[in-house]
């Protein structure tokens, strides 16, 4: 009886360890899949940033407002289908809200006023995200200086006073408004996410490795 009891305890312990390992593996696999889905969604928008110009106080500005904790930009259409306005340029904003995590605010600047209810639609992306940090890779100086690009915590083309002779000559044509600032977009956007994880030991925050998304329209050939 003693021998059988020892064997039973050993087998039961092995089963419990195996069950916990399986549950832990399943949880990690599910979390990794959610991380991949989130990264794919971000990459689809950030890789298609478009230098959209809109009127602001009788001047044109490029829609790109990059801060360390938020980002607003114009992006090309992702799909072409039956969804309303899916073929139009969108303005997307990323930020973190305390109760909803990482959210994306989407609007359509080219939509008629009759469709105003769709303006500023907020879509939760991942409630686990507790913090986001952006950085922007931007060329330094004038194009003819051939300086290496530098990472910035903030970038707003409307505040950039670097002269670009080629673009200025086009903008100065009759009938076109003056461009406020410059039309320089970053060469790349770096994104660092902090994920809130729930474990049996409690809640912990995990900082994911930085992700770098090249901005194709911002590249200098």
Higher pLDDT, 164 or 94: 94
11 CB contacts (<8 Å, ≥6 apart)?
Answer: none
Considering only CA atoms, give the Rg of the chain: 24
74 CB contacts (<8 Å, ≥6 apart)?
Answer: 49, 50, 51, 52, 63, 64, 89, 90, 91, 92, 109
**Cross-strand bridge partners of residue 193:** 132
Give dist(CA 155, CA 177) in Å, integer.
22
Give dist(CA 206, CA 212) in Å, integer.
18
- Residue 21 φ/ψ, nearest 5 degrees: -65, -40
**194-213 average pLDDT score:** 83
Supply the pLDDT for residue 220.
44
Give the number of other CB atoms < 10 A from CB of residue 138: 21
The 3-state DSSP composition of the chain as helix, strand, coil percent (nearest 5) reads 30, 35, 35
- Per the listing, tokens 């931007």 go with 138
Question: CA separation (Å) from 35 to 27, 93, 127?
Answer: 12, 19, 12
Length of the chain: 221
Whether residue 211 has pLDDT greater than 80 = yes
Which tokens sit at 27?
């949880």
Give dist(CA 83, CA 54) in Å, integer.
25
Whether residue 169 has pLDDT greater than 60 = no
State pLDDT tens for residues 110-148.
775 444 444 578 889 989 999 999 999 998 877 777 888
State pLDDT tens for residues 155-164.
999 888 876 5
- Residue 37 φ/ψ, nearest 5 degrees: -60, -40
Band (202; pLDDT cuts 50, 70, 90): confident
Task: Report pTM.
Answer: 0.74
Give dist(CA 148, CA 137) in Å, integer.
10
Band (45; pLDDT cuts 50, 70, 90): confident
- With 0-12 / 13-18 / 19 or more C-beta atoms within 10 angstroms meaning exposed / middle / buried, residue 129 is buried
State pLDDT tens for residues 21-36.
666 666 677 777 888 8
Whether residue 172 has pLDDT greater than 60 = no
């Amino acid at each position: 009886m003693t021998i059988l009891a020892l064997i039973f305890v050993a087998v039961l312990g092995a089963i419990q360890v195996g069950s916990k390992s399986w549950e832990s593996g399943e949880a990690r696999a599910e979390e990794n899949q959610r991380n991949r889905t989130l990264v794919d969604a971000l990459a689809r928008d950030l890789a298609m940033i478009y230098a959209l110009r809109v009127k602001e106080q009788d001047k044109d500005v490029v829609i790109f407002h990059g801060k360390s904790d938020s980002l607003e930009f114009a992006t090309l259409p992702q799909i072409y289908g039956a969804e309303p306005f899916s073929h139009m340029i969108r303005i997307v904003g990323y930020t973190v809200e305390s109760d909803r995590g990482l959210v994306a605010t989407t609007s359509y600047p080219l939509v008629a006023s009759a469709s105003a209810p769709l303006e500023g639609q907020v879509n939760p992306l991942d409630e686990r995200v507790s913090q986001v940090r952006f950085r922007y890779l931007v060329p330094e100086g004038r194009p003819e200086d051939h300086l290496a690009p530098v990472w910035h915590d903030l970038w707003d083309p409307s505040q950039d006073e670097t002269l670009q002779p080629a673009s200025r000559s086009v903008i100065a044509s009759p009938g076109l408004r003056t461009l406020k600032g410059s039309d320089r977009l970053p060469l790349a956007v770096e994104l660092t996410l902090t994920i809130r994880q729930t474990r049996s030991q409690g809640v912990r925050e995990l900082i994911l490795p930085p992700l770098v998304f090249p901005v194709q329209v911002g590249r200098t050939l």
